[in-house]
Structure 1
Amino acid sequence: MRALVAALATLLIASGGVLLGTAPAFAHDELVSSDPASGSTVDALPAALTLTFSGDLLSDASTTVVQVTDASGASLTDGAPTVSANVVTQPLTGSASGAISVAWRVVSSDGHPIAGEFAFTSDAAPVATPTPTETADATPEATATPEPEMTTLTTPTPTSDQSAPIWPWVVGAVVVLIAIGLVVWLLGARARQQKQAASERTAGRSNSTER
């Protein structure tokens, strides 16, 4: 009887360990790689930048932002980024050289926004600016090119946290209830056996007295 109770106690402890082991905090997705890679040097600006993440992303246009700028702050993006499962593709334009900065923001499939930035270098030869020829007419004043405005990345508030799966708790609860039921049944059976043994001893004494 004691051995059986000890075995049930061990089962309860083991089921508790399973529950604790199957309910860790869920890690959010992260950037796994990029092309061009962070810190790399390329011969020329590629036609597109790709970002690969550890999990699938939300594909809504408003949840994915990619900014690619050259050393002067001019934007090199060509249209909006596209999302396919865990890969973001941002078309690029121009022939910029020097340091290229990348800032990105995406939303994981669990609703949590993540953002980051990195840089790479382009060795493309700068485009030469033609020198204007002198003419008899007065040269008009050059119009200043406005500085491109950088869009501030705002991190949206996550709509809701993804709930942890409940099946480990259901399994654990069933195991605990079964174990409790076995303990109650064993204790009841033991009590009945003791009562029956006591009755048999009493009957034996009565028979001895009558003889």
Structure 2
Amino acid sequence: MDTYTRRRAQAPRRLTVVAASVLAAFALVFVAPLAASAHDELIGSDPAADSTVEALPAQLTLTFSGPLLTDEGSAELQVTDAAGTSLLDGAPSVQDNTVTQALAGTATGTVTVLWRVASGDGHPISGQFAFTATGAPTPAATASASATTTPTAAPTPSEASVVPTTAPTSAPAPSGDASPLPWILGVVALLVVAAVVYLLVSRARRTRDLSAAQPKASPTPSGSGSDDPAER
């Protein structure tokens, strides 16, 4: 087998190596980032982040995008008032994708929530947010305000009484949502690679078949039918 024929025979093997290298690069570029971004995340809470409530609720509820690990100690919360006093009442409870934490005491002002849970894939995730508790008006202030009003005038509602129980703020938008764009780009890249490999393999096969079909030149016989003038 000459050098040309041997190179043609090795062409499909080289194409296979190139295709495997391209697929490996594709996996590193597209699949790895998608797997890394698949962790669960906080999608809502009650009270909601940056909302205003009239008084500290009896419990705090956190809702995540997927089921969480329910092992003991897998969920940790810190809930403190503006002075840094803890408002926790016992340990948190985890059920499916929801964490519930009982609260105790009173709070006026900013309430800070720090949370840490174990995602369904075992990866720990954490974050924090805050909401505001206005606190109920004191009886003395209410009596004083009603005593100073005239009999014909309607009592003016206090500022705290007009604050809605829950501000119409939406839950914080989850950060880092997996975009479908990497999947689309990955599928397109895979189709392009498959088309290129198919064309190269088909071309190599056609060249090899044409080379095999060409007739081999017969060697020129020596010493027969010589027309050398010296032999005449």
Distance 1:96 1:126 in 2: 13
- 1:76-97, CA deviations, whole angstroms, 9 ceiling, x for partnerless residues? 2222111122221111123333
Give unmatched runs, 5+ long, in structure 1: 129-167, 206-211
Paired position in structure 1 for 2:92: 81
Paired position in structure 1 for 2:213: 196
Q: In the TM superposition, what are the counterparts of 1:149-168 in structure 2 within 5 Å?
A: none
Paired position in structure 2 for 1:125: 136
Distance 1:102 1:23 in 2: 32
Aligned counterpart for 1:100 among listed residues 99, 111, 129: 111
Task: Tell whether the 8 Å contact from 2:68 to 2:96 is kept in structure 1 after alignment.
Answer: yes
Paired position in structure 1 for 2:80: 69
Distance 1:69 1:21 in 2: 41
Q: Secondary structure at the residue paired with 1:75? A: coil
Task: Report deviation, 1:75.
Answer: 2.3
- 1:151-170, CA deviations, whole angstroms, 9 ceiling, x for partnerless residues? xxxxxxxxxxxxxxxxx9xx
Paired position in structure 2 for 1:46: 57
| Bigger RCO of structures 1 and 2 (CA < 8 A, at least 6 apart) | 2
- 1:172-195, CA deviations, whole angstroms, 9 ceiling, x for partnerless residues? 8xx98xx59x839944x6445434
- Normalising by structure 1, report the TM-score: 0.54
Task: Tell whether the 8 Å contact from 1:105 to 1:115 is kept in structure 2 after alignment.
Answer: yes
Distance 1:184 1:194 in 2: 14
Same amino acid, percent of matched pairs:
47
Task: Tell whether the 8 Å contact from 1:96 to 1:126 is kept in structure 2 after alignment.
Answer: no
- Normalising by structure 2, report the TM-score: 0.50
Q: Secondary structure at the residue paired with 2:32? A: coil
Equivalent residue pairs, number: 153
Task: Report deviation, 1:107.
Answer: 1.8
Distance 1:67 1:97 in 2: 17
Task: Tell whether the 8 Å contact from 2:81 to 2:109 is kept in structure 1 after alignment.
Answer: yes
Q: Secondary structure at the residue paired with 1:22? A: helix
- Flag the structure with larger Rg: 2
Task: Report deviation, 1:116.
Answer: 2.2
Aligned counterpart for 2:30 among listed residues 21, 46, 49: 21
Aligned counterpart for 1:183 among listed residues 189, 201, 206: 201
Distance 2:204 2:90 in 1: 72
- Closer/same/farther in 2, CA of residues 196 and 48 from structure 1, 3 Å limit: same
- 1:26-51, CA deviations, whole angstroms, 9 ceiling, x for partnerless residues? 12433222211222110121121111
